[in-house]
Amino acid sequence: MPRRTKAHISRQNMTTPAGRKAVLTEVIDLIDQWLEASLKGEVGVLSYTEPKELQQQLALQIPKEGQPEEILKEVKRYLSHAVRTAHPQYLNQLFGGFNLPAFVGEILTAATNTSMYTYEVAPAATLMEMAIVEKMLAYTGWNSGTGAMMTGGSNTNMVAMLLARNSIFKGAKMEGISGLPHLAVLVSERAHFSMLKAANTIGIGQNAVVKVALDENGRMRREGLEAAMEHCLANGMMPFMVCSTAGTTETGSFDAIDEAAAFAKKHQMWHHVDGSWGASLLLGSRSQSLFKGLEQADSFSWNPHKLMNIPLICSVLLVRREGIMREEIQSHDADYIYHDNDTSAYDMGPASLQCGRRVDALKLWLAWKYYGDEGYGKRIDHLLDLAEYATDRIANDDRLELMFPTQSLNVNFRFAVPEGLDADAFNEAVRYDLIRSGSGMVNYCRLEKGLSIRLILLNPDLRKEDLDQFFERFIEAAEKHLFRLQVAGAKAS
């Protein structure tokens, strides 16, 4: 089909079948061109623009009169400023890559535009979500269980904390927390910040989150938990939940889940495992040992929008006790939606804090169908190989310094600066130099040894050559920055 121009796009012809098809064809063509350039790395990861300048370029003001003829221009403009998260030099956050069957599912989800509260309005999606939950439960080692898709790892962690509170303190759902003891939740020092938000949301306060000291590999162990328990009891606090992290955001470390499980059982606490980042490592052929003890957990967060490369958002909370989500979440004053009929047992809304909820099951179901268990296992194993390769690459280059022993798919390193320079400020500056140039995007975190560049490996289409290119660009940017500092120092002296 010949390319349409804005002269062919108007309010009238966009409402006709031919006009709608022309717009959709043009938009898909633009997306495909953008993706192709991203996947091949033919362009920069982004075209960096300062906020004030970008505000002007985007023409963000909403007009009084509609401008349908501008839609394709705005699509092009948006794509030109979007970060290319499928790019082989995008190594920045805990999402990325491109997954074609999942992308198809995303298009279908938007086109059909339904909500997940009842079987009546989402029959196929409801059954798909139930099938996905059942599939994931098979990896936990539980004999039974339940689950639901939610709006991200933060939400799954919050709902897990809510279930823990209501399960242990039976009147909390209806009466609130005013009569409860001074509650506490035990988490690792590197637990996700969503645990603090969760404590705030369920009314126990952020100070109720007690952080547990870690071992040399960033793991929460039984000794640390026992010390944290003593601290809580000495300060009049009553821990009711312990949260293990299966893949910390900074170092990719896995807490000793089995030790936390034994501790939780001893003290009659709820044990939640936050696998938002690392849960998909269950699919690999050599990483299941990281989850020893998961079969004893009470709940488990799993985010397929990370290691399974599903478009955001795709997140699941799994709970070992069947029926608990309906018991502790549902209300009984919505008969205008929920009707007592032969399909009401399939309604997912009563087990969700949301009313309207987007269909996130279809994209994951299509992708898992496409790759299968074996295909996803190979993708995970490939990423683990890349993590080993990157770690060895750093160890064998005197210009680089490994900042933490690699635990899974996070590789922490920095440029080794000459004595007298501030290594933290230097490496942070180099990171921003890469972003401004568009040549790469990688993030950083702060560890005990200082600021660390945090290389995230989750795009299964990455090759060793892509990592070589990243390190070459990073070192080149570092050496240029070092030269500028030396020139400035010489001028100053």
Min mean pLDDT across 39-48, 216-225, 349-358, 390-399 is at 349-358
Q: What pLDDT was estimated at residue 2?
A: 45
Q: What are phi and psi of 50, to 5 degrees?
A: -65, 150
Q: What pLDDT was estimated at residue 7?
A: 44
Tokens 């927390």 found at:
177
Per-residue confidence band for 8, with pLDDT thresholds at 50, 70 and 90:
low
Q: What pLDDT was estimated at residue 66?
A: 87
Average pLDDT over residues 414-434: 97
Decide if 284 contacts 276 (C-beta within 8 A): no
Task: Rank 12-16, 56-60, 387-391 by mean pLDDT and report only the highest.
Answer: 387-391
Average pLDDT over residues 409-420: 96
CATH class of 114-359: alpha beta
- pLDDT tens for each residue of 70-88: 889 999 999 999 999 999 9
In terms of phi and psi (left: phi > 0; alpha: psi -120 to 50; beta: otherwise), the region of 347 is beta
Average pLDDT over residues 39-67: 93
Tokens 């490369």 found at:
309
| Average predicted confidence (pLDDT) for the chain | 94
* pLDDT surpasses 80 at 274: yes
Which of the 8 DSSP states describes residue 83?
A: -
* pLDDT surpasses 90 at 340: no
Locate all alpha helices (DSSP H) within 180-302, ordered by sequence. 194-201, 222-234, 257-266
Q: What pLDDT was estimated at residue 168?
A: 95
* pLDDT surpasses 70 at 3: no
Q: Say what percent of the chain tops pLDDT 90.
A: 86
Cα–Cα distance, 27 to 38 (Å, whole number): 16
The residue that leads in pLDDT, 69 or 90, is 90
The residue that leads in pLDDT, 341 or 210, is 210
Q: What pLDDT was estimated at residue 341?
A: 82
* pLDDT surpasses 90 at 342: no
Going along 44-116, which residue ranges are E strands? 90-91
Q: What pLDDT was estimated at residue 333?
A: 67
Length of the chain: 493
Q: What pLDDT was estimated at residue 401?
A: 98
Where do the domains of the chain lie? 16-46+82-99+372-493, 114-359
Min mean pLDDT across 54-58, 184-188, 333-337, 450-454 is at 333-337
* pLDDT surpasses 60 at 246: yes
- pLDDT tens for each residue of 362-396: 999 999 999 999 999 999 999 999 999 999 999 99
* pLDDT surpasses 80 at 411: yes
- pLDDT tens for each residue of 139-152: 999 999 999 999 99
Task: Quote the tokens at residue 414.
Answer: 């920095």
Q: What are phi and psi of 206, to 5 degrees?
A: -65, -30
* pLDDT surpasses 90 at 451: yes
Decide if 80 contacts 299 (C-beta within 8 A): no
Per-residue confidence band for 10, with pLDDT thresholds at 50, 70 and 90:
low
Q: What pLDDT was estimated at residue 490?
A: 78
Cα–Cα distance, 342 to 120 (Å, whole number): 10
- pLDDT tens for each residue of 284-317: 999 999 999 999 999 999 999 999 999 999 999 9
* pLDDT surpasses 50 at 455: yes
Q: What pLDDT was estimated at residue 398?
A: 97
The residue that leads in pLDDT, 20 or 284, is 284
Task: Say which CATH architecture domain 16-46+82-99+372-493 belongs to.
Answer: Alpha-Beta Complex (3.90)
Q: What pLDDT was estimated at residue 5?
A: 45
Matching fold, domains 16-46+82-99+372-493 and 114-359: no
Decide if 261 contacts 320 (C-beta within 8 A): no
